A and B are shown apart, each in its own frame.
Chain A
């Protein structure tokens, strides 16, 4: 289990990195934390001919408040830096909560926030989180940049809008409205393992405790993270009653996800999990938002 040979580039600045990516085109691939890529290379399931290692680009690792009170996270920010960041914990506890589900601490010490989103693993937490929080993603290429919403960014399993010369440079999590809270729920065979089904649900309440906004994202149950449209349709403007939540959960499980059968779970079982988890997550998010 040794990786195949590759050419190696170690840029020190974003500019240099973008130049490398432009020069290499389809033969180049970004090496961020490497926690998914390198195992795949060790199995020789991934064999990029050239790697552009961003680990020396110090300017890509940061967490800062945006002017409107959101949080901007540099693409090379390590998962554990986000997990333990006091601003993140205080302003967006759902982010810190989610980070704790990513594999194990040793992986979070190397894995990067942007790297995981760009990898677009349908079973991974951060693409789902970015969708749940309606994140804005800054995509750079040599001499140009553009903003993409999380919804637009992922186009399929392990597929994004990124072109070979592109780099995901920054992720902006917009500020949460008052009385907004999220809940993360998953079932995985083992702690730190891939979810068999999971949801990140974020709920905003108004003064009367009616739902102002809800973003219920299902993941690891389809080709991409899935934003439940039905949740918004049923809940927004209404009281999040037990019955309404149960209705959303049942509908999402039946109609809004597409889990396959694999070694560890049948489609039926995973739909059952979606129903249970959505119900539990929405219930908890509502409870938290009321506080």
Chain B
């Protein structure tokens, strides 16, 4: 008999109650059980960062957590930021600085950066590179992402 565990998780402000197999990866739970497919899976061993989400407000890799570990916790995914019609300032900055191409890594970057900019309002180029070092991008060479983070920091300061 497959063991099923009941979990209660709040994702993007919406409470969910689900029964899951203990081995179900949190990334798969978010993507396939909750149908929030904005979170992507690129390596399933915690290196590429495509699956980055906020877990109780901190950026983490959802591919190296089990869904059962999210019981009682709060999660935010890329879908929590903005809609195509009303992008979050960080998303706007990505668009304006051409900080994405194929876009597969982008949600992971956004969740890493949204966490980072919460604590670091005015980072230098070098600090930004260190902050995004755990997210892989094959398309942009990272430079425009660095530019977008700087622009986002300005935009977010203006918003707050």
A and B touch in the complex (CB under 8 A): yes
A105 and B59: CB pair below 8 A? yes
A109-B58 in contact given A5-B2, A38-B64, A42-B64 (Cβ < 8 Å): yes
Using a CB-CB cutoff of 8 Å, which residues 28-75 of chain B contact chain A?
Answer: 28, 44-46, 49, 52, 55, 58-61, 63-66, 68-69, 71-72
**Is B85 part of the binding interface, using a Cβ–Cβ cutoff of 8 Å?**
no
Contact with A along B125-149 (1 / 0, CB 8 A): 0000011011000000000000000
A/B pair count, beta carbons within 8 Å: 91
Residues of B within 8 A of A109 (CB): 55, 58-60
Residues of B within 8 A of A56 (CB): 71-72
A53-B69 in contact given A38-B46, A42-B64, A192-B133 (Cβ < 8 Å): yes
Using a CB-CB cutoff of 8 Å, which residues 16-55 of chain A contact chain B?
Answer: 31, 34-35, 38-39, 41-43, 51, 53, 55
Q: How far, in Å, is A6 (CB) from chain B's closest CB?
A: 6
A3-B25 in contact given A8-B5, A42-B63 (Cβ < 8 Å): yes
The residue in A6, A43, A53, A106 that gathers the most chain B C-beta atoms within 10 A of its C-beta is A106
A5 and B23: CB pair below 8 A? yes
Q: How far, in Å, is A7 (CB) from chain B's closest CB?
A: 6
The residue in B69, B130, B133 that gathers the most chain A C-beta atoms within 10 A of its C-beta is B69
Q: How far is the CA of A26 from the CA of B52 in the complex (A)?
A: 33
**Is A110 part of the binding interface, using a Cβ–Cβ cutoff of 8 Å?**
yes
B23 and A106: CB pair below 8 A? no
Q: How far is the CA of A38 from the CA of B46 in the complex (A)?
A: 9
Q: How far, in Å, is A201 (CB) from chain B's closest CB?
A: 24
A6 and B22: CB pair below 8 A? yes
**Is B96 part of the binding interface, using a Cβ–Cβ cutoff of 8 Å?**
no
**Further contacts, 16 of them, CB under 8 A, given A56-B71, A105-B134:** A3-B25, A4-B23, A5-B2, A8-B3, A8-B5, A8-B68, A31-B66, A38-B66, A39-B44, A39-B45, A42-B44, A55-B69, A104-B134, A109-B55, A109-B60, A110-B65
- A to B CB contacts below 8 Å, 13 in the list: A3-B23, A3-B25, A5-B2, A6-B22, A8-B22, A8-B66, A10-B71, A56-B71, A106-B61, A106-B112, A110-B60, A110-B65, A192-B133
